[in-house]
Amino acid sequence: MSFFEDNLSRLMQNNPALASALRQSGTGRLEIVQARSGVPSARANGRWIHSAYDPIKEAQAWAESQSYQDGETIVLFGLGLLYQVEALCARLPRTAAVVLAVPDPSALADAAAARAWGDWMDRVVWAWGTAEAIGEQIASAGHPIRLVAYAPAASLHAESHRIIETILQRKVAAQAGGQLRIAVVGPIYGGSLPITRYAVSALKSLGHHVRWLDPSVHATSYHQLELLKNSQHRLALQSKYAEMLSRITMAQLAEDPPDLVLSLAQAPLILPMLEHLRRKRFLTAMWFVENYRHLTYWQQLAAGYDFWFVIQREHCMAALKQAGAKDVRYLPMAADPSVHRPLELTQAEREEYGSDVSFVGAGYANRRAIFPQLLNHEWKFKLWGNEWDGATELSSVLQRNGARIDTDTCQKVFNASAVNLNLHSWAGAGLDPNGDFVNPRTFELAACGAFQLSDRRSLMPDLLAANEIATVSSSGELPGAIARWLREPEQRLAMAANARRRVLAEHTYAHRMRDLLSQVGVASPDRIGAILRGARQAEALASTAADSFPVLASTLRTFPPTQRVELKQLAAQIRSRGPAGTLSREDLMLLMLDEYRSETKDLV
Amino acid sequence: MTSRALIIQLARLGDLVQSLPVITSLAARYPHRSLDLLCPAPLANLARLFPRVGQVLEWNGPRWHAWAKSFVGEFQHSWLREVEQYLTELTSDPYEMAYVLNQHPRAFLAGALLASEVQGPHLRGPLDEELSPWASYLRRVAQVRGSNRIHLSDAFCGLCGVTPLPVPPFLMPPSNDPPGDLAEVGISAGQWIAVVVGAGDADRSIPVAVWIEWISLLLAHGSPCSVVLVGASRDQTVAHAVQEGLSPLMAGRLWDAVGRTTLPQLATLLKRCHWAVGADTGPLHLATAVGTRAMGLYFSRARVHETGPYGQGHWVWQADRAVPETWPIQASVKMIRDPATVSQQEPVAGWSLWQSHYDEWGAVFRPVGEGDSQEDQRAAIWRQLSEQRMLLQGVQ
């Protein structure tokens, strides 16, 4: 009998439907080539899937490098000729559940024809079908899930894997009941400071314990350094100051170690500190809410964070990975509906803040070049914001003499304007030809129920549809578009209402933070994932401890069932019994561990 | 009668060596009982040289640290199995009695984990903050110092309910040669002096400049002395700095053993020397334990009466302030080169000289040249603390 028939007859016993699918799928997806060691290897699209020399040895090395915790279900993406499955099964305990994702039966059929499958077949579960179907099958497994990718083979089905991972993230988000302790590190000053505030607020609204390590309290001192005339001194001292703020942040983290350190762009954490945090097993993430082409300091930090979340896609993500980032994901901007909301304005406020056309923002080059063409029309144009020095043509429409506009004023302008312009910043003369990310103002305007006219962005269609936001693709279209939308107030209102509905449904900071945590949770099933699932809550811990450690289980039951319990709390509970309290062996072990735990904060 | 007992000493080298008297006293008091010792793993090979000790159990601090780190933020009860397995590897059956010598929760907890009954600083269990009479006395001494004349080694005896032996105990180092050129130490004629260059804490370290001057004076004028620098690996930089500052002419009479020996080898090396000189450090105490005469330079928190070199005939220069302004270099070198002149020592500003004696209450230091201004209250304190101890045991 051939390998193919032999393997299929075995597969028929535990998954007949998949066996039939393989029989019908045909082969030829993989090119089978003999390796130097004499066993079959494979190529696809001109690339090796397994080693050309020794696929077995290579698979064993790969399997050794994979993490696993008791009770987890390992889900493997990228099957190739299944050498790595064999090696993984040999390495894992027999009780470990292994699920193999099969997005393409024809590739598996090649594998079935190439070599004999071993006894590992009796240990694995096959998840196959469409990406959605595979995602649902894996999600219903119900265990803590650890996703593992054998990259050379997984890259053949990247899109399927992305869909499957998204489904699993949704599942984590839906199940999230556990409370994380999150330290949020914001910037000293700048545009990401309000974003930090919104992120903190959103995380709290999701029920997590959030500590905002806010270096903006040092902003005044930091700005004093900008007054130094000697640029060498200024740069050296600013660098030292940033390093000191980084150390202060480390000291704060050491006092109360969080489950996750979430930095926002411009957070003063330098690479050596991030590396030190990693050595101390802190999990770190950065939400880089900046245009990676404008601010390039990410190059020095890329390798420092465990997770990067960015507002741009392909090029940005590739550049970060090239610079050493291990895990980069897309997370667009959002709005905070408690801040960005429809307002009831007084007549006086309408007069002060209202206009036919308005823009709130800084005087970037493209805006300076475009806005003069909006003057001398039938509409009333008001320009708000700072950094417009030298734009003399626009002085007649510039409000408050170019003063910085605070958030409250900004909301009033949004609410009071008929057409809010939303031109993304760019250093050129017109609209950014490579404009990809969608700025916060887009979501903020929408959340206010305000109508906006934006420049077209490549990532816009995924976030807001054509009936939710009006766009132009060139600066020349702008006057005509303004005139058109001013003539159509009802359509403006309808479009603004659509946009608000969409933002409230999908694009709030709470959505973003839930996405961020669920992605980190899927990638870190034994840490963040476990906490989000509630596996660290007293009731869950007690039920799993009951058989092996009954005394521990009864101590755990003295806590409220949903309270998250760690060693620190357990030890405190044991100590609260007082001098006359009886201590079991388990109690003593926990107290001993807590003694050592209390000395593990040597971060500074 | 208890058949298995465990002594728990989880502190550093100096404390372990200073536990030798209580170990030998307990062994003498309970001759039919096996006596094991729990100490930090890096010290275990030295502890195996201790007389009257059966098994030496190794306390693996880094492993506990690793477990504790693993637990932080991701407590998993299943990991307790590893802890349980480790404890079972230490001893499958609990000891009948554990004597805990450290006033640290880890030591109390280790006692409670490994033995059915615990005798030590706490009156009752690990959560009890009430100290035993001897532990209270030690804590008071640590806080106030005052007129105490009871040595820490003897206080360990009191803590465990025994008295010091009539003669101080010694340990016998291995007879095989130390490695490499160190095999030459002690072979040639003349006095061999072990110089302990470092200290566990920076504030207890004697400055490099002081050592350079001290060794230069000792080896000057054709003296028949040789010097062996001793210490741990972390002291190698200091040892190099000292050698850099010395005349090249002294090279033939200077051996550098810093960081090059195991603890048993260090014990052998110290045994081959006539003197050991240094601050209040583990190697200085180890020298006294192998029978080598010690001269301590005590400053910072070190105090002669609590932790002077244990036994008879050792010397300590005690500074009257934490950071001395001058050092008794000439006087201390003279004591080594010409011991007969000790009684004619001129006073050294900022320092007092003490010599150790040994009697029924253990070791005690007395000033050279004049009487001790403090009355020796050891007998009264022993009586008082022993009565309190008996009373508490009776009540319990």
Closest CB to A70: pick one of B68, B71, B78.
B78
Among A175, A192, A212, residue at a domain's last position: A175
Q: What's the pLDDT band for B3 if we cut at 50, 70, 90? A: confident
**What's the pLDDT at A210?**
95
A247 and A138 share one domain:
no
A14 and A152 share one domain:
yes
Counted domains in chain B: 2
A200 and A145 share one domain:
no
Indicate the helix (H) or strand (E) that contains A286: strand A284-288
Residue B73, domain extent: 4-159
Q: What's the pLDDT band for A166 if we cut at 50, 70, 90? A: confident
**What's the pLDDT at B74?**
59
Within-domain flag for A321: yes
What is the rounded CA–CA span in Å between residue A383 and residue A395? 9
Strands A284-288, A328-330: pairing kind:
unpaired
Residue of A nearest to B86 (CA): A589
In the predicted structure, residue B1 carries a pLDDT above the cut 50:
no
More confident residue, A207 or B97: B97
Q: Which residues, numbered 537 to 576 in chain A, qualify as contacts with chain B under a Cβ-Cβ cut-off of 8 Å?
A: 541, 544-545, 548-549, 552, 565-567, 570, 575
Over the stretch A423-445, which tens digit does the pLDDT of each residue have? 999 988 889 998 999 999 999 99
- Of B80, B102, B116, which to mutate for an interface test with A (greatest number of A Cβ within 10 Å)? B80
In the predicted structure, residue B2 carries a pLDDT above the cut 70:
no
Chain B touched by A70 (CB under 8 Å): yes
Strands A470-472, A452-455: pairing kind:
parallel
In chain A, which residues have their Cβ closer than 8 Å to the Cβ of B67? 593, 596
Q: What percent of chain A has pLDDT over 70?
A: 98
Indicate the helix (H) or strand (E) that contains A154: helix A151-154
What is the rounded CA–CA span in Å between residue B228 and residue A370? 83
Distance from CA of A182 to the nearest CA of B (A): 11
Beta bridge partners of A181: A209
B141: tokens are 């001494």
* Contact between residue B268 and residue B286 where contact means Cβ atoms under 8 Å apart: no
For residue A406, give every residue at least 6 positions away whose Cβ sits within 8 Å of its Cβ, in sequence order, or none: none
B256 and B107 share one domain:
no
- CA distances (Å), origin A546, targets A27, A478, B1: 51, 69, 38
Sign of CA dihedral B301, B304, B309, B311: negative
Within-domain flag for B288: yes
Residue located via tokens 């030798």: B20
Backbone angles phi, psi at A566, to 5 degrees: -125, 180
More confident residue, A159 or B284: B284
B274 and B202 share one domain:
yes
A258 and A319 share one domain:
yes
Over the stretch A444-471, which tens digit does the pLDDT of each residue have? 999 999 999 999 999 999 999 999 999 9
Q: For position A11, which CATH number holds? A: 3.90.190
**What's the pLDDT at B227?**
96
Q: What percent of chain B has pLDDT over 70?
A: 97
- Residues of chain B whose beta carbon is less than 8 angstroms from a beta carbon of chain A are 61, 64-65, 67-69, 71-78, 80-81, 83-84, 87, 105-106, 109-110, 112-113, 124-130
In the predicted structure, residue A171 carries a pLDDT above the cut 80:
no
Average pLDDT over residues B6-35: 96
Over the stretch A379-416, which tens digit does the pLDDT of each residue have? 999 999 999 999 999 999 999 999 999 999 999 999 99
Distance from CA of A539 to the nearest CA of B (A): 13
A212 and A167 share one domain:
no
Within-domain flag for A383: yes
Closest CB to A589: pick one of B73, B113, B130.
B113
Closest CB to B127: pick one of A552, A566, A579.
A579
* Contact between residue A356 and residue A461 where contact means Cβ atoms under 8 Å apart: no
B187 and B219 share one domain:
yes
Cross-chain residue pair A586–B128, CB shorter than 8 Å:
no
Cross-chain residue pair B81–A548, CB shorter than 8 Å:
yes
**What's the pLDDT at B73?**
58
- CA distances (Å), origin A222, targets A214, A216, A235, A236, A476: 14, 9, 11, 12, 42
B19 and B99 share one domain:
yes
Q: What's the pLDDT band for A532 if we cut at 50, 70, 90? A: confident
Indicate the helix (H) or strand (E) that contains A431: none
Q: For position B196, which CATH number holds? A: 3.40.50.2000
- Of A283, A595, A600, A602, which to mutate for an interface test with B (greatest number of B Cβ within 10 Å)? A595
Closest CB to B73: pick one of A549, A566, A583.
A566
ipTM of the complex model: 0.92
What is the rounded CA–CA span in Å between residue B367 and residue A84? 77
**What's the pLDDT at A175?**
66
What is the rounded CA–CA span in Å between residue A161 and residue A154? 8
A479: tokens are 């006057």
In the predicted structure, residue B395 carries a pLDDT above the cut 60:
no
Within-domain flag for A532: no
Residue located via tokens 């031109």: A423
What is the rounded CA–CA span in Å between residue A566 and residue A563? 10
Task: Report helix, strand or coil for A536.
Answer: coil
Within-domain flag for B395: no
Among B270, B295, B279, residue whose Cα is nearest residue B192: B270
Cross-chain residue pair A548–B73, CB shorter than 8 Å:
no
For residue A366, give every residue at least 6 positions away whose Cβ sits within 8 Å of its Cβ, in sequence order, or none: A423, A425, A426, A427, A428, A429, A430, A431, A432, A475
Within-domain flag for A249: yes
Residue of A nearest to B114 (CA): A585
**What's the pLDDT at A300?**
92
Over the stretch A9-52, which tens digit does the pLDDT of each residue have? 999 988 999 999 998 988 788 999 999 999 999 999 888 999 99
A202: tokens are 């959103």
A77 and A169 share one domain:
yes
B192: tokens are 């061999």
Residue of B nearest to A259 (CA): B73
**What's the pLDDT at A176?**
63
B335 and B259 share one domain:
yes
Task: Report helix, strand or coil for B377.
Answer: coil
A200 and A314 share one domain:
yes
Residue of A nearest to B129 (CA): A579
Task: Report helix, strand or coil for A587.
Answer: helix
Distance from CA of B59 to the nearest CA of A (A): 12
Over the stretch B240-288, which tens digit does the pLDDT of each residue have? 999 999 998 887 899 999 999 999 999 999 999 999 999 999 999 999 9
Can you state the angle between helices A16-25 and A105-114, rounded to 10 degrees?
Answer: 90
CA dihedral A515, A519, A521, A523 (to 10 degrees): 180
B150 and B259 share one domain:
no
B214 and B283 share one domain:
yes
Cross-chain residue pair B109–A600, CB shorter than 8 Å:
no
**What's the pLDDT at B72?**
62
Q: For position A487, which CATH number holds? A: 3.40.50.2000
Within-domain flag for A593: yes
Residue B301 one-letter amino acid: R
Within-domain flag for B14: yes
What is the rounded CA–CA span in Å between residue A424 and residue A437? 9
**What's the pLDDT at A142?**
63
* Contact between residue A50 and residue A80 where contact means Cβ atoms under 8 Å apart: yes
Q: What's the pLDDT band for A600 if we cut at 50, 70, 90? A: low
B109 and B217 share one domain:
no
* Contact between residue A297 and residue A304 where contact means Cβ atoms under 8 Å apart: no
Residue located via tokens 């110089």: B195
B209 and B135 share one domain:
no
Cross-chain residue pair A281–B75, CB shorter than 8 Å:
no
CA dihedral A37, A38, A39, A42 (to 10 degrees): 80
Classify residue A527 by its DSSP letter.
T
Cross-chain residue pair B126–A588, CB shorter than 8 Å:
yes
For residue A598, give every residue at least 6 positions away whose Cβ sits within 8 Å of its Cβ, in sequence order, or none: none
B151 and B222 share one domain:
no
Average pLDDT over residues A275-295: 92
Average pLDDT over residues A237-245: 89
Within-domain flag for B279: yes
A102: tokens are 């099969």
Task: Report helix, strand or coil for B321.
Answer: coil
A186 and A166 share one domain:
no
What is the rounded CA–CA span in Å between residue A193 and residue A266? 9
Over the stretch A196-217, which tens digit does the pLDDT of each residue have? 999 999 999 988 999 999 999 9
Ramachandran area for residue A462 (φ above 0: left; ψ -120 to 50: alpha; else beta): alpha
Among A485, A515, A545, residue at a domain's last position: A515
Q: How many CA atoms lie within 13 A of A34 on its CB side?
A: 3
In the predicted structure, residue A573 carries a pLDDT above the cut 80:
yes
Task: Report helix, strand or coil for B382.
Answer: helix
What is the rounded CA–CA span in Å between residue A446 and residue A337? 10
- Of B69, B70, B77, which to mutate for an interface test with A (greatest number of A Cβ within 10 Å)? B77
Among B290, B246, B254, residue whose Cα is nearest residue B272: B290
Sign of CA dihedral A433, A435, A439, A444: positive
Among A133, A137, A157, A153, residue whose Cα is nearest residue A145: A137
Cross-chain residue pair B80–A599, CB shorter than 8 Å:
no
What is the rounded CA–CA span in Å between residue A105 and residue A128? 8
What is the rounded CA–CA span in Å between residue B132 and residue B334? 44
A188 and A161 share one domain:
no
**What's the pLDDT at B396?**
46
Over the stretch A302-358, which tens digit does the pLDDT of each residue have? 999 999 999 999 899 999 999 999 999 999 999 999 999 999 999 999 999 999 999
Indicate the helix (H) or strand (E) that contains B138: helix B133-144
What is the rounded CA–CA span in Å between residue B220 and residue B228? 16
A322 and A448 share one domain:
no
Strands B95-100, B56-59: pairing kind:
unpaired
B205 and B325 share one domain:
yes
Cross-chain residue pair A581–B81, CB shorter than 8 Å:
no
Cross-chain residue pair A593–B64, CB shorter than 8 Å:
yes
* Contact between residue A134 and residue A101 where contact means Cβ atoms under 8 Å apart: yes
* Contact between residue B137 and residue B155 where contact means Cβ atoms under 8 Å apart: yes
Among B380, B374, B379, B391, residue whose Cα is nearest residue B145: B374
Can you state the angle between helices A585-597 and B105-114, rounded to 10 degrees?
Answer: 150
Closest CB to A581: pick one of B71, B76, B127.
B127
What is the rounded CA–CA span in Å between residue A496 and residue A464? 11
- Of B59, B67, B76, B87, which to mutate for an interface test with A (greatest number of A Cβ within 10 Å)? B76
* Contact between residue B289 and residue B307 where contact means Cβ atoms under 8 Å apart: no
Within-domain flag for A523: no
Average pLDDT over residues A236-257: 89
Task: Report helix, strand or coil for A123.
Answer: coil
Beta bridge partners of A171: none
In chain B, which residues have their Cβ closer than 8 Å to the Cβ of A70? 76, 78
What is the rounded CA–CA span in Å between residue A411 and residue A415? 6
B99 and B190 share one domain:
no
* Contact between residue A260 and residue A530 where contact means Cβ atoms under 8 Å apart: no
In chain B, which residues have their Cβ closer than 8 Å to the Cβ of A179? none
- CA distances (Å), origin A323, targets A308, A320, A327, B328: 12, 5, 11, 60
- Of B90, B93, B127, B128, which to mutate for an interface test with A (greatest number of A Cβ within 10 Å)? B127
A76 and A138 share one domain:
yes
Counted domains in chain A: 4
Residue located via tokens 């028929």: A12
Within-domain flag for A234: yes
In chain B, which residues have their Cβ closer than 8 Å to the Cβ of A549? 77, 80
Among A481, A515, A549, residue at a domain's last position: A515
Beta bridge partners of A552: none
Within-domain flag for A528: no
- Of A593, A599, A601, which to mutate for an interface test with B (greatest number of B Cβ within 10 Å)? A593
A23 and A127 share one domain:
yes
In chain A, which residues have their Cβ closer than 8 Å to the Cβ of B65? 596, 599-600
Indicate the helix (H) or strand (E) that contains B242: helix B236-245
Mean pLDDT, chain A, rounded, equals: 91
Q: What's the pLDDT band for A161 if we cut at 50, 70, 90? A: confident
What is the rounded CA–CA span in Å between residue A384 and residue A304? 38
Residue of B nearest to A553 (CA): B77
Cross-chain residue pair A592–B77, CB shorter than 8 Å:
no
What is the rounded CA–CA span in Å between residue B332 and residue B345? 9
Mean pLDDT, chain B, rounded, equals: 91
Choose the weakest-confidence range: A12-16, B148-152, B272-276, B315-319: A12-16
Distance from CA of B144 to the nearest CA of A (A): 27
Total count of residues recorded for chain A: 604
Residue A572, domain extent: 537-597
